[in-house]
Amino acid sequence: AEQKEQEWLGTPIKELRRMPQCGQSLPHLRATDNHKVLIRTDLLKDGQVPHPYPSKYRDSWDDMTVKMPCSEKNLFPVENEVIVVQSRWELIRTALEGECKSSLDIRDAILSYNTVHAKRWDFTALNYLCTEGMENEEVQHLFNVTLPKMMKLVLNTRKICTQPIPLLKTRMNQSLTMSQEQIACLLANAFFCTFPRRNSRKSEYANYPEINFYRYCLLFSGVALETRYIFCRSMPTGLVTFTRQSLSGFPKWESSKKQLTRLHITCKGTIEDEGYGMLQVDFANRLVGGGVTGMGLVQEEIRFIVNPELMVSRLFTEALDHNECLIITGTEQYSKYSGYAESFRWKANHKDEIPIDGWQRRCTEIVAVDALKYRNFMEQFQPEKMIRELNKAYCGFMRPAVNPENLSAVATGNWGCGAFGGDTRLKALLQLMAASEAGRDVAYFTFGDEELMRDVNAMYRFLKDKCVTVGTLYFYLKQYSNVVSKHFQRPNISLYGYIYDKVNTNMDPEPSPSDSNLT
Ligand code: AR6
C-alpha cells in the first residue's frame, strides 16, 4: 500500500545542492569587456534602487546595441508635400504625457507613433478586458495607479536606461547586469510598443524575438497584461544578470567515462516551486520566451508571465544556436498561477521570499535551452539529433569557471516533450548524461506522470548498479538507433527494454573492460 503512495524516488531532495548555500562567495561586481553593468556598482546599497551608470544618457544607434525609442536617431518620415523626418520620441512623449482613462486612450496613444500599423493591430481583447473582463475595482486601479506609473517610466527612459544595451548575439559570450528598475522601464516601453524596428520580423531584427506587446491586443485573455504586476508595488531594488553562453568545445560522448550523478525524481511539484535555489530549466524556444507576446501558453510562456523580468531578454537576445543558451539570474516571481495551457489562470500576487546574493540578485537561476522540435517520432533517435540535444543540455548545465562543488542541482523535467514532441524516456536519459558530464545532480519533475517517475527511476537504478558510464550509455542509445532506424513508426522494442536487454546479456561495448568492473 505504501508503495502506491510513492510521490518521489531516488535521492531525497534535501540532499541536493541549492543556492545560496552551495555557492562560492561572489567577487566584487564590476564591469568588464564581456560583462556590461548598467548601474553604479560603487553605490550599490541593500534596499535602495541602484543608480544608473553613466549618470547622463548616452545615445547610440548601431548594430551592436539595442535601438532605443528615446534615441535622437529614432526618426520617421512624415509625408506631406515634401518628405520631412520627425522625432519619434517626441511623439511618444506627447502621447504618454496625456491622460489614459480607457483602453481607447491606450490604443490612441500607441497608434499615434505606430501609424502604419493602425489597420493591422486589433485592440478588441484589450477593450474587452478593460470593460467586461476585469472587476471594476481592478480597472480603476489599472487606470489610476498602474498605467500612470508605466507611462512615467517610459517618459523617464533617458534617465533610467542611460547606457547603450549590448545585443547578445550569436557566438558571443557576454553578460549584462541591470536593475529591476531598468527592466521595469524597458518593459513599460514594450507594453506601449515604443521600440523602433521591432514591429515586423522582416526587419533588421528578424533573428530576434518580438518585444513590443502589440499582440496582447489579439489575445483574448489579455495574458501579457499580467506583466503589469511588476508595476504594482514600490520599485524593487535588485539586479538581474543575463548571460549568453556559447560553447565551442563539447565532450566526446562516446568515450565519456563519467558515472551518472544523483537523481531525485518526483511526480509532484514543479520546477519553479520545489526547485528553488537550483538551476531551473526553461523549456525554451530558440527565440527566447517563445509565444509569450503572442498565443503560446506552456512551460516557457508561463514562466515568463509569472517572472516577467525574463521578458526583457527578448529585447536583446538573438536566436539561440545549437551550442548556446541564455542564463538569467535574479528575476523575481510576481504572480501565482493555476492550470496549464488552456486552463492557465492568473491566481494571485506572489511575494518572492528567495534570498538575495552578493550582487543584490534573487538566488533564482533560470536557463533557457531550446530542444529540437520533432514531427516524426523516430527522428530523435538519430545520433546527430541525440548529440545535438546532449550538447544543448550540456551547454545549459555546464559552468566553465565554477567548481562543480559550488554548483546547484539541475531542476528539470519533460524538456522538449510537450509542444516539441520529444520522448520523455529518451530526453530524461540525455539530460542525466549532460548533467553528469557537467558534474551536477538532477531533480526531475515528471509533472504528474507516475509511470514515468517509476520507469526512469528503475532505469537509473539499473544503470547505477551496473556502473554504466555516460559513454557506455551513449553507445547503447546509438545501437538502439541503429536497430530502429528502419522504422517510420514507433518500433515494437522500447528504448528501455532494449537497454535492459543489452546490459543484461552483458555485451561489453568497450574493448577495455576495466571501467565496467568499478563498484
Ligand atoms: N514544471 C515541471 N514540468 C513542467 C512544467 C513545470 N512548471 N510545466 C510543464 N511541464 P513544453 P517543449 C512539463 O511543451 O516541448 C513553448 O512555446 C509538461 O509535462 O512547454 O520543450 C516554447 O517557447 C509539459 O508537457 O516544452 C517552445 O516554443 C512538458 O514539461 C516550446 O513551447 C513540456 O513542456 C517548447 O516545447
Which ipTM value was assigned to this complex? 0.96
Which cell is 179 given? Answer: 536593475
Round to whole Å and give the CA distance between 400 and 341: 36
Write the pLDDT tens digit of every residue in 24-77: 999 999 999 999 999 999 999 999 999 999 999 999 999 999 999 999 999 987
Provide the angle, in degrees to the nearest 10, between the axes of the packed helices 383-397 and 424-438. 50
176 Cα: distance to centroid of ligand 1 (angstroms)? 26
The pLDDT-based confidence of 219 (bands split at 50, 70, 90) is very low
The pLDDT-based confidence of 224 (bands split at 50, 70, 90) is low
Nearest ligand 1 atom to alpha carbon 271: 1
The pLDDT-based confidence of 506 (bands split at 50, 70, 90) is low
Write the pLDDT tens digit of every residue in 231-280: 778 899 999 999 999 999 999 999 999 999 999 999 999 999 999 999 99
Q: Does the pLDDT at position 218 exceed 50? A: no
73 Cα: distance to centroid of ligand 1 (angstroms)? 40
Residues 290-313 have a mean pLDDT of 87
Top mutation candidate among 270, 283, 344, 452 for ligand 1, by most atoms within 8 Å of CB:
283
Instruction: List residues near ligand 1 (CB under 6 A).
Output: 270-272, 283-285, 290-291, 296, 298-301, 371, 413-420, 445, 447
With CA atoms as reference, report the closest residue to 286 among 249, 244, 253: 244
Alpha helices (runs of H) in 98-239, residue ranges in sequence order:
103-112, 124-128, 136-141, 147-155, 157-160, 180-191
Round to whole Å and give the CA distance between 413 and 449: 11
414 Cα: distance to centroid of ligand 1 (angstroms)? 7
Cis peptide before 54 (omega within 30 of 0): yes
Q: Does the pLDDT at position 222 exceed 60? A: no
